[in-house]
Amino acid sequence: MKNNILETALCASLLVLATTAGTASAKALDDALDCHSTGHKFVAPLLAAGDIQSEPMHVESNSVNAFRTNHPLTAYGFGVYVVLGYQANDPIFRPGDGTPIGDWAYGVVVRGAKGSVEEAVRKAGSDATVKQAFPFLTAIVCSSD
């Protein structure tokens, strides 16, 4: 009985440590999400640092590219699920099969409810568009339009 309690406590401690360590070492993208940049200026440094994969995992018809993360990233305290980006005539980005979103766009999809994410974004002073992508996945996007 005593061993079960110790094993349970040890497992719980390791789980908390693993969760905290990932968040503590995550790179914060808050400053870059102030909507004063471009798709290239946002995505290129993340590619150069190896923070995201070099090939998009998905390209929307409006040419927004979705890149998987290689390392933990955060935006306003929320874990980043994917990085989004597009810039016209930029070889970093693949074109979609529809009308492009504009000259450029960039952002992230984070793990968090829209209300909580939007509150954090506005509190930080960003004008980014905040939209629910799926339940508990929220997009934070800046665009030229």
Give 2-38 pLDDT, tens digit per residue.
444 444 333 333 333 344 444 568 999 999 999 999 9
Instruction: Give the pLDDT confidence score for residue 6 in this predicted structure.
Output: 40
Instruction: Give the pLDDT confidence score for residue 25 in this predicted structure.
Output: 84
Range of the domain at 100: 26-143
- Using DSSP bridges, classify how beta strands 73-75 and 27-28 pair: parallel, antiparallel or unpaired: parallel
In a domain, 13, yes or no: no
In a domain, 116, yes or no: yes
The whole-angstrom separation of Cα 63 and Cα 92 is 12
The structure tokens listed for 22 are 């990932």
Band (145; pLDDT cuts 50, 70, 90): confident
Whole-angstrom CA distances from 128 to 16, 92, 132, 141 are 32, 22, 13, 5
Instruction: Give the pLDDT confidence score for residue 27 in this predicted structure.
Output: 96
Residue type, 138: T
In a domain, 113, yes or no: yes
How much of the chain, in percent, has pLDDT values that exceed 90? 82
How much is the CA Rg of the chain, to the nearest whole Å?
18
Q: Which residue has the higher pLDDT, 91 or 9?
A: 91
In a domain, 73, yes or no: yes
Q: Which of 20-24, 31-35, 58-62, 94-98 has the lowest mean pLDDT?
A: 20-24
Is 58's pLDDT higher than 90?
yes
The number of distinct structural domains making up the chain is: 1
Question: How many other C-beta atoms can be found within 10 angstroms of the C-beta atom of residue 48?
Answer: 9
Instruction: Give the pLDDT confidence score for residue 24 in this predicted structure.
Output: 62
The whole-angstrom separation of Cα 139 and Cα 86 is 15
In a domain, 16, yes or no: no
In a domain, 34, yes or no: yes
Report the pLDDT averaged over residues 53-79. Answer: 98
Tell me which DSSP letter residue 48 carries.
Answer: H
Write the pLDDT tens digit of every residue in 123-139. Answer: 999 999 999 999 999 99
Tell me which DSSP letter residue 135 carries.
Answer: T
In a domain, 11, yes or no: no
Considering the chain, what is the average pLDDT of its residues? 88
